[in-house]
Structure 1
Amino acid sequence: VLAPLPIGFAVFMVHLATIPLTGTGINPARSFGPAVIYNHHEAWHNH
């Protein structure tokens, strides 16, 4: 019953921490495809 609260909080914290650095793309289905199309090599560099 309480599981959604810590999960939502974790996602919120990831967004807050990474918005200034990467633009926050924690959903690979949404961020990797456009990065490949627009040739953004940072999307898969060092992974």
Structure 2
Amino acid sequence: MFTLNLFFATITISLNKNEMTYKEYVHQQYVNDLFDAAHAKAIDANYIR
């Protein structure tokens, strides 16, 4: 039972650690937009079949 409690505590800690700051969120949105633009451009140029 003690091991199970440790396991869930570890999951909770790792989940809290993965929360993004607002700055990181904005950066991630920027990267996603760049990726989408490059992907659309590749489709238009028929690179992706």
* TM more than 0.5: no
What TM-score, normalized by structure 2, do the two folds share?
A: 0.42
- The normalised TM-score by structure 1 is 0.43
Greater relative CO (CA pairs within 8 A, separation 6+): 1
